[in-house]
Structure 1
């Protein structure tokens, strides 16, 4: 090779993905005392596995996880990502940096021009290919997935003009001017990420996006009415898991077929028990004679004894629900026991290891 010959540069990937999974999941306690929110068993696998399957399905192979709380759990489970056909890297936040700060914190791992960024607790049916196409066809600096919701009063809203350009970021109000909200999924030009201040907390909605608008950058909205759910509360977690099992929400990671229920290997369900409405019965679980499990999630090793009723609830790893007990909209932590005949209603949460005695006592969150 002559002295002036040059080795061809490696082609840059067309797009990469960043998933922000650093939150503590306070609203989901006690479930998140033992695992980060994106690692909770959801329709048979960690919730994050569903998102990673959708990222891989559109041809993206490089994913960076921005971690913090129980950061080691992610790498212990997913490793380098090769089992999923991915190359996964991990960046740990030493202190909370907010959304934009967390994105900036992983920038050294990125090389593609376009970077898909996901909040790691959102279950969404948005077509990711269409989202990327919107970003590229409009030559946007940042593109936001905006979803239409029935009640935008619970969220800040994001108005757009006739060309789909974002015009403002509005706080929660009783009279929102539009029904579209920030859905927690973005496409950034990598240069925009590199311009985010490093080493301090930065909010995308209060600082980064308004700053881009003020500077005349193109902030594009990709608006749709696809399935969308913030999985941040126990009720939403149960609903999202059920929707994955029922096939209402998309995933390539479901460990079985969609249908009325998902019963994992090693679980034992009595012939006369009823398990339906998208319930998941984890490995080594036991569901007794005459029991009813509806729209619920039983983590591995949970036991539901004869005649018990579990509706829209979560029963943690190794927890036990006694004979004839009733759970409706409840959470039972890992290793806890609900005594025979007890009733847990209206969002009650039982902490790990707690034993509620039998005897027909009614418990409510109030």
Structure 2
């Protein structure tokens, strides 16, 4: 499949949000920032945007503030093979072609979507009661509620399969037979599914202790079974491995606007005032990558939540990192979320 590099040219004044839309639509994993005369000002990649989000940059910020203003580029006289060698040596997927300061093309490795297959285990938590979605969950586990034409859990499974994963573990507790009857051993999708059953709820981390000893000793991706998302799981895994992390937590930016004017004082003296300020936080997205030394050491039948589990490693100054996600993400916990998901799924392409 080919893509026109002109589709990813933007001006320096477009917002980060608009640049993200270009990244997602064109699938070239790069945006080219140019002035009106097509002079290259910089480039923006998915990694540039994630690093900006970690620094607190908002999605409405102009893209010129987050772009790489000194990107690697080649001239049109550079051969395709030499351009590939440059990209491989710098571990990048694309280089702009520039003559006399003007953008005239783009060389890529054509790695729009990897066909790599992963042996890494994927652990999906599907044991919850879904009490806030009753009566829908009276006879159906929450991950098996249909969003669009498929259960939430099946959509999640298909996203992983599309990314090259085939080794799945599903934790069950509430109405496990509904899940097992639908998915079986995974042969319908040419994947392997192993079930671990919680006799008693063990928290978001406790079920790790029930994984069989045969679980591959590779970084494990763990995700809540009620999450609807377009996250690229390959990128999450690449980030984790590339940064040699012990554990990685995916986080989502959450904005909260204080509905009043905030006053900062020093004693009786007012120092500053701000009308209805917006505070930004990162919240847990319920998606993790953890190394074998983490999941192999969770005690069997010990109730523990993932934040508590990871906090122990953080206290020991281990490398527990966060990966900001800007892709679509929805935790289907309430009826309003479920109704929203029914609308959103139509335009997601997942």
TM-score (norm 2): 0.59
Partner of 1:262: none
Cα distance in 2 for residues equivalent to 1:74 and 1:176: 42
Kindly tell me: are residues 16 and 176 of structure 1, through their superposed partners in 2, closer, same or farther at Cα, counting changes over 3 Å? farther
Deviation at 1:241, TM superposition (A): 2.0
SS at structure 1 position matched to 2:250: strand
Matches within 5 A, 1:1-366: 14-151=119-256, 178-205=280-307, 207-245=308-346, 247=347, 249-251=348-350
Which secondary structure state, in structure 2, belongs to the residue aligned with residue 150 of structure 1? strand
Match of 1:332 in 2: none
Contact 1:14 1:112 in 2 (8 A): no
Q: Verify the 8 A CA contact 1:107 1:194 in the aligned structure 2.
A: no
Counterpart secondary structure, 2:213: helix
RMSD between superposed Cα atoms in Å: 2.2
Provide the rounded CA distance (Å) in 1 between the counterparts of 2:337 and 2:349: 16
Q: Encode CA deviations 1:193-238: one digit per residue, 9 max, x unaligned.
A: 1122322201111x21110011121101111222111111111111
Alpha-carbon separation, structure 1, partners of 2:328 and 2:182: 27
Q: Which runs of 5+ in 2 are unaligned?
A: 1-116, 259-276
Alpha carbons of structure 1 residues 45 and 146: separation in structure 2 relative to 1, 3 Å: same
Q: How far 1:23 sits from its partner (Å)?
A: 0.3
5+ long unaligned stretches in structure 1 = 1-11, 154-174, 252-366
Does structure 2 retain, via aligned residues, the 8 Å contact 1:28–1:234? yes
Relative contact order (C-alpha < 8 Å, sep 6+): which is higher? 2
What is the number of residues matched between the two proteins? 217
Larger helix percent: 2
After superposition, the C-alpha distances for 1:12-48 in whole angstroms (9 at most, x for unaligned) are 9641100000000000000000110011121011111
CA contact (8 A) 2:118 2:164 kept: no
